[in-house]
Structure 1
Amino acid sequence: MNGLNALNEEKMLLVRQYIGLLDTIEEAFANIFLFLEELRIEDADHLWDDVSLAFGQIHLSNQVLAERPEVLIQLTSFTNVWEKAQLLHHSDYSIWEEVIGERIYPAFTEWSREINKQFRPYFIN
């Protein structure tokens, strides 16, 4: 089953929320970078906690959405982002900007761009 008919109404709603979550995460990263630049470590930490929770939601959603092989490849590649995000839990705040800016954020944006290519056609006419 390919195309729009391959997703039922419930999954269409999930895809819309999924894409919205990706956009929200993108905004959160921008704010994290700003907070780190301004040395507002506590604010960056709280926002990172939100991003981590969002990554967990993506991970759970991937299990529901992984029906088409081309989508499955992109969904499973989220593991790369997830693993990089785990590095931050073991890092000193002094290297957060480096870890987020050079490892986590680039992995997320690359993955997000590819998953968007797979999902946006389902709900943009």
Structure 2
Amino acid sequence: MNVLSEEKFLLVNQYIGLLDIIEEAFGHIFLCLEELRFEDAGNLGHDILAAFCQIHQTNQVLAEHFSDRPGILNKFEDFESVLEKAQPIQYTNYTLWKGILGESIYPAFSEWYREINKQFRSYFIN
């Protein structure tokens, strides 16, 4: 079993919580796009991009705490490809945006999200 200090446990717990919220937000974006609520979808998209920046910064901090765990470090590096896919988002053409989200950004995030959860699972499950 892997044991974390209380501080690291809280940090990882908040990190995973943010990832859970982002996963849920993608579902809301797709719903908004289906219901033609483009402004709501765009607002959620901006929030997700802001959260992606926060994840990127947090990955750098967590990398220091998990420098002895190459699996976790690799997943932090893999997040860069998610960021790259999210860069070209244009909110003016929502049909194109829905395709980019559904075929590129969300699948990349979702796969990365599953993998980082696997890496941290040993810290939460005995």
* Aligned with residue 2 of structure 2, among 1, 4, 9: 4
Which of the numbers 47, 50, 68 marks the counterpart of 2:47? 50
Give per-residue Cα distances to partners, 1:12-41, cap 9 Å, x unaligned: 111101111111011100000001111111
Q: Which amino acid aligns with 1:33?
A: F
Q: Deviations over 1:78-97 (max 9, x none)?
A: 00101101121487333111
**Counterparts in 2 of 1:21-100, with a 5 A limit?**
21-66=18-63, 67=67, 68-89=69-90, 92-100=93-101
* Structure-1 separation of matches of 2:30 and 2:12: 27
Query: Which 5+ residue runs of structure 2 have no aligned equivalent?
Result: none
The list of structure 1 runs, each at least 4 consecutive aligned residues, that deviate by more than 2 angstroms after superposition, is 89-94
Partners of 2:91 and 2:97 within 8 A in 1: no
**TM-score, length basis structure 1:** 0.90
Q: Which runs of 5+ in 1 are unaligned?
A: none
SS in structure 1 at match of 2:125? coil
Q: Percent identity?
A: 61
Kept in 1: contact 2:33–2:98 (CA 8 A): yes
1:4 is paired with a residue whose SS is coil
Are 2:14 and 1:17 aligned? yes
- Paired residues, number: 122
Q: Distance in 1 between matches of 2:33 and 2:91?
A: 17
